[in-house]
Amino acid sequence: MAEVNPFSLSGTQHSQHWPSLVSPDWWLNKAFIAVTGQPKSAWRWAPGTTSFSTQRTVLTGVVLYLAMVFGGQAIMKKVAKPIRLKRFTQLHNLALTLISGFLLLAFMEQCLTAWRQNGFFFTICGAESWTQPMEILYYLNYMTKWLEFVDTVLLVLKKKNLEFLHYYHHSLTMVLCFEELLGRVSVAWIICSINLLVHVIMYYYYFLASCGKKVWWKEIVTTLQIVQFVVDLGLCYFCLYTHVTFHAVVPLPSVGADCRGTRLAAYYGCVLLSSYLLLFVQFFIKTYIKGETGSHLGFRPLNYKQEGEKTQKTE
């Protein structure tokens, strides 16, 4: 039965914490019913059964992605002109902006409520913080990483030079999201939420750029990505240390509690995010400090082009 007041929480499902029309959980439930005929509470992550839930699928996806990168670049060298799918690029960037924003709000609806009721430590380490509604969001976030492969396809078609950072980051982030699902890592909600916030800003920037708008704040996006990894690593290393010291044979200083998640997922996340931080800092220095593009954050380029010469746009 429909609610009399759509902005009332009376009679809502247990995972809905905001009024219906502004609740991502409410809209997700409607979408699940429309597509599958069942409420989203009936969905379960089942490795080996759920779509894209096997290690073989993930490995195959990475291999095919890298084959597309290098094979596509080789093919496009033989093509006279770049292929610019302007309208499709605009729609792709706008779609990822909206999807990222929706998932960010969905994480906030679940996690802010848990934080308020049980405290911050519970949300990043508590076993009970890994709920079925959260698992759906982790899975949907994981699926967006497959959709983001389209970014690379569009750049290859445009005959853009792809840096190592681009395809390294795209391919292994998908693997990281998969490992977080398998390892049931509670702190993953912060990693996902910050990443989604950055992606809202980043894909909106790409959307404006694809529409021909002059956007001056590209380096702010890179700065936010670096800040993202600093925060992620601080929390990830804290959670890993908390887990290791709780199970250590030799007594070590600890908070006296365990952190939810497998060590494999934790080790992989710490190593991968550390490499991201180093690579993004290197990219920032190369592009905005030693590079030849103007800066709006106070960094003075060390090299200068002749007056009037246009700089090549990088993506």
Euclidean distance between CA atoms 302 and 126, whole angstroms = 48
Q: How far apart are CA 242 and CA 117, in angstroms?
A: 22
- Give the position of tokens 């899975």: 139
Q: What is the pLDDT of residue 219?
A: 87
- Contact between 233 and 277 (Cβ < 8 Å): yes
Cα 41–Cα 3–Cα 128 angle in degrees, nearest 5: 30
Helices 164-183 and 55-76: crossing angle, nearest 10°? 170
Q: Residues 114-132: pLDDT tens digits?
A: 999 999 999 999 989 999 9
Average pLDDT over the chain reads: 88
237: left (phi over 0), alpha (psi -120 to 50) or beta: alpha
Instruction: Please report the pLDDT score of residue 12 as a whole number.
Output: 54
| CB 112 within 8 Å of CB 225 | no
The domain limits of the chain are 20-289
DSSP 8-state secondary structure symbol assigned to residue 4? S
Residues 6 or more apart whose CB falls under 8 angstroms from that of 130 comprise 184, 186, 260
**Cα–Cα distance, 37 to 35 (Å, whole number):** 6
In the structure, what pLDDT confidence band is assigned to residue 150 with cuts at 50, 70 and 90? very high
The count of residues in the chain is: 315
What is the mean pLDDT of the segment spanning 212-233? 93
Cα–Cα distance, 129 to 235 (Å, whole number): 16
Per-residue pLDDT reduced to its tens digit, 32-79:
999 999 999 999 999 999 999 999 999 999 999 999 999 999 999 999
Q: Supply the pLDDT for residue 289.
A: 86
CB 222 within 8 A of CB 162: no
218 or 210, which is more confident: 210
Average pLDDT over residues 136-158: 97
- Better-scored residue on pLDDT, 278 or 304: 278
Using alpha carbons only, how large is the chain's radius of gyration in Å?
22
Residue type, 193: S
Rounded distance, CA 179 to CA 171, Å?
Answer: 13
Asked if pLDDT for residue 296 goes beyond 90, the answer is: no
Instruction: Supply the pLDDT for residue 217.
Output: 87
Ranges of H-type helices in the chain: 24-36, 55-76, 86-118, 120-125, 132-147, 149-157, 164-183, 188-210, 218-247, 263-284
Instruction: Write the pLDDT tens digit of every residue in 78-122.
Output: 998 999 999 999 999 999 999 999 999 999 999 999 999 999 999
Closest CA to 185 of 105, 103, 110, 264: 264
